[in-house]
Structure 1
């Protein structure tokens, strides 16, 4: 890396890339230029820190790049928007090779393309640990953003896919059990359905969020913002057979993974009760009266089968 230098690395990882029509000017100038035909820009940022969010002995550079884009692209989708561009800042340790940096870049591009956008710029510096910081830009295409504060009593609560696989993969890595490759892969690289957010918006979703910290933890954010109670029914939660098998093997409660495990990056949304849900969405509960909005005293909460959940509730950064 030292022999290549900052600008040599930038030139190497941007060479030969093609960009979607939404990118008017890509890397190489002081800033990129992307279209904002809607007149509004959806924007989010997130960071992956080595030792906190990933381990290089568990995840390859391409996996890390894909994960960094996925967690930002899922936030864009949770607003009902589509990703158009990603800006990436890297802090690279001395032991990161040029080949590893190129693999990381390939992962960033692979997932950015899958999300519908492109990597349009960023920054590179040296550091003690590998850090990947991504800013994502999205387009609402004329639609209204789906916020967290729109859930109404009488709505249904639904998820766009199963939760718990990343948490199961983490537990398997810790236990050094390798006979569930799909769950290990789910921990390395989440697989957001980037179409699920815009599809939910078109179907009439009243509130929506990304499940990054765990279903209960993120449901609580939605419940507080909307001033409602979200009543989750455990029997309705989608639980893949592999998840149950791994829980039995490790002696774990599968619901701790499904309700409290983070980094699956599926979407959680509320819909009017008579809505025909988009493909892939599953009703897992209902919305009930629950106080005033936005954290006022007595505001929103989450129950599981009518009671407060006493198991794992999700990830916290501090």
Structure 2
């Protein structure tokens, strides 16, 4: 036995037998720095198992956790003009859209779906902050209107998950016009006597906060979410004063009467089921996770729906 046998040969064997470890097995918590195994993180809905920090989650993953059995049907949204202003900054607007679509796998910043939670039929809409900061453009306005119209037509509550950096500057005034458009859509729900529940996630800012995100019958937020019109840095620079700790965070807004609840993501589904059934005057749902409905398909068109369509402008 010598140094060649004891050291060199094992060293050579370890080099040639070394296996590559995939980079996506672990995620680092932005808050506490803990390395989290991706399966545990996914099972906990992207909430850190050590400190409870809520990381970003996409609309599709959120809906899979929300609906019974993770089953839902997407609602069609009318497509707006692709590049109405022919806007260009460092990149052309269509190029930015293609990059965002490739990054997220979604065609736009909002997903609309319908299904059941606790055997209660609902319509849901969720913004994707990874898609150009969840910015509110014409598509987002069309999506909220489509969600409201579907909810009214099917007599279902609407639950909206907001996450946005504000209006989409590449669409200019057309983006700002979505504020009154979505406000009218919310009014449609109120006139129909249907619940409109908003879940504010981190961050919800700008024109989104000044319109549909703060008009819910019930306002819920995830913990420590930033909710504001102008951000704290802009306000500090404007008034030249130091803001209170936690200013514009969910817990601060709850203490000052702007929110009804601050609920962890892992408890949100059960709370939404309870609130929705209370607002609809239904008895409490059966406790625990429910399996997927026996049959899930595209919504069926009834004779009543056809009659409503005929009465609408342009109906035959």
Give the alignment's TM-score, normalised by structure 2: 0.24
Rg (Cα) greater in structure: 2
- Larger strand share, 1 or 2: 1
- Larger helix share, 1 or 2: 2
Tell me: higher relative CO, structure 1 or 2? Use CA pairs within 8 A at least 6 residues apart: 1
